[in-house]
Chain A
């Protein structure tokens, strides 16, 4: 039942976002769009709620996690992404690369946390998550610092900064 309601709400929000500007009820919507959106969301939710909320895990519904996620997206993540882009731009121009696939163990337990971390790592230039086995991530790193290649597990701080802590805070 909870899966059904959550799917209705998300489908309705998506519909409203796409049809904003159609009228003047509640600011920006027309009555027909509001009613039709609700009707279509219920149909969509009836069909798809079994497939969308399969894990039965609703901890991401907590609004505190959403606020943390937005803070993370605009703060540390965007800063790290900008810094890494400038670093990769430097490597594109000079051609100084030292690539390698390293192993990191972020000690995250849930699928949410690992997906969150792997996507953050991939979106940051210079690091690219290639594979994942039992919570251990294999990361292709464009510039492995001296000494890191000899370690069994690379230093998490050097690969992805504070992302692992944020993944734990937001998704676990």
Chain B
């Protein structure tokens, strides 16, 4: 029963952050600020929804002893690890490609990268 509440809490936190990521994607002005909402908030949300799955699988494993639940939980943990490894790399690649193709940050108060690229 405790596990049920824990799963609910994890999934609700995950859905809230995923939803905020979507709202941010619509509200923010340019590609860099949108990347903040679209890649980071959703990573955090997805970690929590996946943690809900892991909790459920471990709870079922403890209750029934069926090893299919162990498989589910380990695969979900691997999915979380892959998410944590690939998400920053993807976000960085998109941001760098956007800057190199000439997209300037909107409303920026400072742009230190501009000075560097003028020398090239």
A-to-B contact residues, CB < 8 Å: 17-18, 20-21, 28, 81-82, 84-85, 88-89, 91-93, 95, 97-103, 118-120, 122-126, 128-131, 133, 138, 140, 142, 144, 148-149
Known: A88-B37, A93-B23, A131-B96. 7 other contacts (CB 8 A): A18-B75, A18-B78, A82-B44, A119-B92, A123-B84, A128-B91, A129-B95
B16 to chain A minimum Cβ distance, whole angstroms, is: 8
Chain B residue at minimal CB-CB distance from A130: B95
Among B85-115, those with CB < 8 Å from A are: 85, 87-89, 91-92, 95-96, 99, 105-114
Q: Please report whether the interface of chain A is mostly helix, strand, loop or mixed according to DSSP.
A: mixed
Give complex CA distance A88, B33 in Å. Answer: 10
If A20-B70, A101-B105 touch, whether A88 touches B36 (CB-CB below 8 Å) is yes
Cβ–Cβ contact B23 & A92, under 8 A: yes
Q: Enumerate chain A residues within 8 angstroms of B89, measured Cβ to Cβ.
A: 119
A20 CB contacts on chain B under 8 angstroms: 67, 70-71, 74
CB pairs A–B below 8 angstroms (10 shown):
A17-B78, A88-B41, A91-B24, A92-B28, A99-B107, A99-B109, A102-B112, A125-B36, A128-B40, A140-B105
Tell me the chain B residues, 1-46 only, with Cβ under 8 Å from chain A.
17, 20, 23-24, 27-28, 30, 32-33, 35-37, 40-41, 43-44
Chain B nearest CB, measured from A170 CB (Å): 15
A47 CB, nearest partner CB in chain B, Å: 22
- Expressed in whole angstroms, the Cα–Cα distance for A87 and B75 within the complex equals 31
Q: What's the Cα separation between A88 and B106 when bound, in Å? A: 18
CB distance from A98 to the nearest CB of B (A): 6
Interface of B is mostly: helix
B35: chain A residues within 8 A (beta carbon):
128
Least Cβ distance of B60 to chain A in Å? 13
A151 closest partner in B (C-beta): B110
Is the Cβ of A17 less than 8 Å from the Cβ of B112? no
Taking the nearest CB of chain A, how far is it from the CB of B57, in angstroms? 11
Q: Is the CB of A21 within 8 A of B68?
A: yes
Asked if B108 and A122 make an inter-chain contact with CB atoms under 8 angstroms apart, the answer reads no
Contact call B112/A138, Cβ cutoff below 8 A: yes
Whether A133 lies near B116 (C-beta < 8 A) is yes
8 Å CB interface, B51-83 against A: 67-68, 70-71, 74-75, 78
Please give the distance in Å from A150's CB to the nearest CB on chain B: 8
Distance between A111 CB and nearest chain B CB, rounded to angstroms:
14
On whether the beta carbons of A21 and B67 are closer than 8 Å, the reply is yes
